[in-house]
Amino acid sequence: MRPTRKLRGALALVVGLSLAAAACSDGNDSNASSDEPAPIESPAPDAAGDTPGATDPATICDSAGLVAAVESGPDEGTLSGMTDDPVATAASSNPVLTTLVTAVTEAGLVDTLNSADAVTVFAPTDCAFAALDPATLQAALADPTGLLTQVLGFHVVAGQRLSSEDLANTSELETFTGAVLPVESDGDAITVGGGQARVVVPDIQTANATVHLIDHVMVPPAG
């Protein structure tokens, strides 16, 4: 009995200490660890679009323009700045993903995306959301755990980080809602969702996800 109890105590102590160490390292900004108690970080709505004279992000649609906008935004939202933040946090610093971040927040999926071990996200840009029928967007936002989650979930593949190279060798992916996402590639061009969207900026790395910016919001197949 006794040794067991002692051992358990010792283990608990070790666990406690390593957790405390993880907590301490949180203050150390250069190295955001996956243990940080940050799942609960909410997107900062003021992070984007405040630059005087900034172009309306919804009008930035082409690859070069998107990359330029991302690189001229806040440091944490640049291609290199996003690598150490979990995906929803990283997206919230990004100037061309403001509508997506709002939708993810409304759906209550910020923690889910931030704390997932590995994910692939097809992220519709603000330009993509602008092309969506406003009535569809409103209907989705009005049903956050239903339609909105169904639509957003169709853009997320859980459990793996797929690069554009991986996508080129894939014909379909199972999304986290269970719906199957068709993938087609022709040379460098990658199309997803049965022709619904094109990858405009591939292979953006965040701490826990690989993100591909796409030019249209995809609607999952009925049923």
Partner 1 sequence: MRRGYADRAPVKTMARIDTPRSLERVAAGPVAVGGVAWAQTRGIEAVEVQVDDGPFRPAQLAQALNRDSWRQWRFDWDAVPGRHTLTARAVDGRGETQTETRADIVPDGASGWMSLVVTVE
Binding mask 67-106 for partner 1 (x = CB under 8 A): ---------x------------------------------
Residue 202 has φ and ψ, to the nearest 5°, of: -90, 165
Interface pick for partner 1 out of 10, 12, 68, 189 (rule CB under 8 A): 12
Binding residue for partner 1, selected from 159, 172, 189, 221, defined by CB under 8 A:
159
Among 48, 82, 176, 192, binds partner 1 (CB under 8 A): 176
Rg (CA), the chain: 19
User: To the nearest whole angstrom, how small is the minimum distance from the Cβ of residue 31 to partner 1?
Assistant: 12
Instruction: Determine the size of the site formed for partner 1 (CB under 8 A).
Output: 34
Chain length of the chain = 223
Q: Which of residues 23-42 bind partner 1 (CB under 8 A)?
A: 23, 29, 37-42
Closer to partner 1 by Cβ: residue 146 or 195: 146
Rounded-to-integer distance, Cα 167 and Cα 56, Å: 30
Largest Cα separation within the chain, whole Å, is 71
CA–CA dist 129, 131 (Å, integer)? 5
CB of 45 to partner 1, least distance (A): 10
Smallest separation, CB 141 to partner 1 (Å): 18
Tokens representing residue 47 in the block: 């992070």
Applying CB under 8 A, which part among 14-22, 60-68, 128-136, 213-221 lies near partner 1? 14-22
Q: Is 111 in the site for partner 1 (CB under 8 A)?
A: yes
According to CB under 8 A, which one of 10, 14, 15, 142 is a site residue for partner 1?
15
Classify each residue of 183-220 as buried b or exposed e, where b means 16 or more C-beta atoms within 10 Å of its C-beta.
bbbeeeebbbbeebbbbbbbbbbbbbbbbbbbbbbbbb
Please list, residue by residue across 42-60, b when 16 or more beta carbons sit within 10 angstroms of its beta carbon and e when fewer do. ebeeebbeeeeeeeebbeb
Strands 189-192 and 209-214: unpaired
- Give the interface with partner 1 as residue ranges (CB under 8 A): 12-13, 15-16, 19-20, 23, 29, 37-42, 44, 76, 108-109, 111-117, 119, 145, 149, 156, 158-159, 176-178
